[in-house]
Amino acid sequence: MKCGIVVFPGSNCDHDCYHILKHILNQETHWLWHKEEANLESFDLIVLPGGFSYGDYLRAGAIARFSPIMNSIIGFAKAGGKVLGICNGFQVLLESNLLPGALIQNQSRKFICKNVSVRVENLDTPFTRLCGENRVLEIPIAHHQGSYYIDPFSLNELEEKGQILFRYCDTEGNISAESNPNGSVGSVAGLTNEQKNVMGMMPHPERCADPQLAGTDGQIIFQSLISNF
């Protein structure tokens, strides 16, 4: 799988994504600089990493969507290319209208960094195909604006079309207000577009994919992607 990792000014999980894809999973991995449009035809996966693009002084991701590279990525996604946005990358995908809804401040109004459980809701996507039935994954979150919001009508539509991929849950897979760390509607932690080729998620799978660190549940998302090619 040929991967491209976008570097916005302020990206700070770019090196972590690179480390996992290149050194742990041995995939061909390249950097993509935000200032230039790029020909992405030969790429299989584009990753928008976590961080604070442009400082996130406005809304998270609001400036990054205007980067030249985003024109190329929007074209790539429209043509069916696979795009994974993690944390700030998810925020950029929403701001770019590649995914529906918005991410607002956590209910606690605080940054939250901790391990959480998420339940995989749809196995029939390129991002989750290896996850197994009712699988609960332990993946860390680290964000300040991670509370997903969308109107109830659209939320229903997302559910019906199988676009919700991850929901926050407890270790048994039960969904409740207590297991929702940031107040996201429907406990949504990650979703995909209708075509199922663009995915955004707040938890950081790259933080639990190196066997030397605690937990490797995040690997399964990257493995699922690799298995498409």
Point out the catalytic residue in the list 3, 87, 131, 169. 87
Question: What is the end-to-end Cα distance of the chain in Å, rounded?
Answer: 6
Phi-psi region of 97 (alpha: psi -120 to 50; beta: other; left: phi over 0): left
13 touches other proteins (CB under 8 A): yes
Residues 94 and 176: their CA atoms lie apart, in Å, by: 25
Contacting residue, 206, 217, 219, 220, with other proteins by CB under 8 A: 206
Q: Which residue has the tokens 């944390």?
A: 87
The nearer residue to other proteins, 167 or 204, going by C-beta atoms, is 204
Is 95 among the residues that bind other proteins (CB under 8 A)? Answer: no
204 is a catalytic site residue: yes
Contact between 229 and other proteins per CB under 8 A: no
The DSSP line for 112-156 is EEEEEEEEE---SSTTTTTS-TT-EEEEEEEESS-EEE--HHHHH
| 3 assigned to active site | no
Cite the active site residues: 87, 204, 206
Would you tell me which residues interact with other proteins (CB under 8 A)? 9-10, 12-13, 15-16, 19-20, 35, 50-52, 54-57, 110-114, 140, 142, 144, 204, 206-207, 210, 212-214
